[in-house]
Amino acid sequence: MFFLENLQLALEGIYANKMRSLLTMLGIIIGVAAVIGIVTVGSAVTEVVTGEMQDLGARNIQVSVTARDADFLSAFSGAATLPAARDLITDSMIAQFHQAYYDYIEAITLISRAGSGMVAFEENLASVSFVGINLGYAISNNLNIVAGRFFSEHDMQENHPYVIISDEVASQLFPNGDAVGQVLTIGLGQFVPEFVIIGVYEQRATLALPEIIAGSNQRTNFYFPIGQTSAFRFGTTSGHNGFVVTTVEGVDGEVFAHHVVRYLNFFYEANPSFWVTASPMSMILNITETIIYSISIAVAIIAGISLIVGGVGVMNIQLVSVTERTREIGTRMALGARTSYIRMQFVTEAMILCGIGGIIGVLFGTVIGYFGSLLLGVPNLPNPFVALLAVVFSMLIGLFFGYYPASKAAKLDPIVALRHE
């Protein structure tokens, strides 16, 4: 009963001073809306990034030749020492490794960047990157062929001038017809070869590990067999500075990565400068999720500082309210109200004020988060637990910052309060 009376008094006080109450709640509303919006958008970003990486192959393991003395900063910035031809992983090493762990491997992906140039069909031109790939590429990268076909084992063994292009480039070069079967002229200085298009793949912006290894741009890639075609037409080296292993379903990527490193580093025992490292996609995925989550929480905490500002505003208004209602407080005390009742009345009013601000902030934050995540292509709503926590925290802000004005009201002398004008 006592609580209901305080609740009624608080709501009546808020309603009687609507504009002042709204301005008082503004800091709470902004703070809660910012936190909810940031957490919601952060969740959408995590979903987008992890979804992309899952599509690219959660079972992939990136294997790379790395300088023994390379640190994370130099590797990330590209300042690490590059391996010479004698330091690269050979086809023989890969074949032996594949045979040793045949039951654990679904595919091994090899790619070789072969430069860039212009391709032409009649009067249409496009600037592209040339990438030699093997059969495993389609598996590890979920390459979706929308027209024609992918390379066959025979294509890899024979010196056929075949190429697979993206659907975007196909629409640019062949706006009025089918690209499959057409012959493209490729400009590489004085060397002008011709290639037959046997397939068109669906282009998508990705973070593909094989593309990272090769340093190529998937948006304009022309794929051709990595074997004799790559070596004969573009003069690429026979070794590899990295490759990707796609494990079979059920294999622990992090555990298998240790086996990969241990096996391949047997070939690098006598190499004083380089060795082999392996990074499973599952580990990269977990690290990425952790980083995005941590950044979202950090930004949300920074945004939540405005709740403190809002709390200061609530305390200020409550002090004004105590001054305005001094005679009312004196009258209640004269009629027998205990100091705890007076204190609870003003604390309840501050908590209700902040609670209403928190609810409005959750609504605004939900709208902001939804439209922000909609721009990312992943419409998302805030976690109900996070929304509830935001409202509860805002009420705790009211409790904390409302306690001092409430205590000041409870300590008033009834006689002095009654004489107050």
> In the chain, what is the greatest distance between 2 CA atoms, to the nearest angstrom?
105
Position 366 scores a pLDDT of: 92
E strand or H helix at 102: none
- For residue 302, the one-letter residue type is I
Q: Both 140 and 179 in a single domain?
A: yes
Position 225 scores a pLDDT of: 85
Q: Both 363 and 260 in a single domain?
A: no
Position 413 scores a pLDDT of: 60
Name which of 139, 74, 28 is nearest 398 in CA terms. Answer: 28
Cα(4)–Cα(309) distance, rounded to whole angstroms?
A: 29
Q: Both 152 and 204 in a single domain?
A: yes
Q: Both 100 and 241 in a single domain?
A: yes
Cα(147)–Cα(374) distance, rounded to whole angstroms?
A: 31
Position 120 scores a pLDDT of: 77
Q: Token pair 């024979």 is at which residue?
A: 158
Name which of 121, 124, 136 is nearest 195 in CA terms. Answer: 121
Q: Both 248 and 293 in a single domain?
A: no
Which residue range is the domain that position 175 belongs to? 59-281
Position 234 scores a pLDDT of: 57
Position 9 scores a pLDDT of: 66
Q: Both 133 and 275 in a single domain?
A: yes
> Cβ distance 62 to 209 under 8 Å?
yes
Q: Both 141 and 252 in a single domain?
A: yes
Which regions of the chain are under pLDDT 70? 1-7, 9-10, 13, 52-57, 70-81, 159, 187-192, 205-219, 228-238, 324-330, 332-337, 410-421
Q: Which two tokens stand for residue 116?
A: 């860039």
Position 188 scores a pLDDT of: 59
Q: Both 270 and 381 in a single domain?
A: no
Among 281, 313, 338, the domain-final residue is 281
Cα(165)–Cα(110) distance, rounded to whole angstroms?
A: 18
What's the total number of domains in the chain?
2
Q: Token pair 């290894």 is at which residue?
A: 213
> Cβ distance 183 to 216 under 8 Å?
no
Position 218 scores a pLDDT of: 43
Q: Both 324 and 340 in a single domain?
A: yes
DSSP letter for 238, please. S
What number of residues does the chain have? 421
